[in-house]
Amino acid sequence: MTVTTAQPDKGDWRQRWATLTPVGVEVHALIQPLQEGVLADRAAAVAALARLRRGVGKPAGSVQEILQYTVSDAFAGPDAGDEPTPAETAAHVALTLYSLHQQSRNNRMHQRGFGLGRSLRMLHPTEFDTTIPPVLRRFQTLGSSQSLEELVHHLRGAVQLLRPAEIPLDYAALADDLLWWQRRGGASRVRLRWGREFFRTPRPADSADGDAPETREPEPDLD
């Protein structure tokens, strides 16, 4: 399996999200069939999503019934110790938050290219005025998180804002962001990426150009 979906086009900031680590690739591969199953109202997929929701806010590896989705060679190699690896934690958070986001939604809530900054800004697509809007405060709170636990708490709140608006999120990219966040200096890198998306996104013309969230169209194949 290849690691990237396409060669990034440096002239288009949105294409930077095309590149995934093996963790993001695996998360995407796990979510895709779940998402298709839920949209087709298949009982197995709906039940799997319900099980994943039981892991929201809980540590990776602590919920036995979701290990089939959150344990993978891509997340932990044969030399992993007794504690969850950073990749397992990232995947656990991404998959469980996706299950919360997709609950009772008829559109794809996982879509490639919808990074966190971009999706949150879509809640407030107009220019900011002198009054700080709630979504900007939410974004600033996310960025100021001092620990992964604090960040995950605020991410859950962000997902609960995106869900009723049916704005998708790229959970494969989110898994990669969470992986980076756990590395030395990685949090600053993730904050910068989210900030670039948030303050450059979106303009009303974007949607007119066909950049609106997808509904039932097939997603690009990672292979």
Domains with residue ranges and CATH for the chain: 22-125+132-199 (1.10.520.40)
> 120-176, pLDDT tens digit by residue?
999 987 777 777 788 888 899 998 999 999 999 999 999 999 999 999 999 999 999
pLDDT of 211 reads 47
pTM of the model: 0.83
Tell me the average pLDDT across 195-210.
64
Tell me the average pLDDT across 86-95.
97
Tell me the average pLDDT across 82-104.
96
The per-residue pLDDT of the chain, averaged, comes to 84
Please name which of 103, 110, 89 lies closest in space to residue 173, comparing C-alpha atoms: 110
Cα angle value 183/153/191 (rounded, 5°): 45
Is pLDDT at 37 greater than 60 in this prediction?
Answer: yes
Please name which of 86, 93, 41 lies closest in space to residue 66, comparing C-alpha atoms: 93
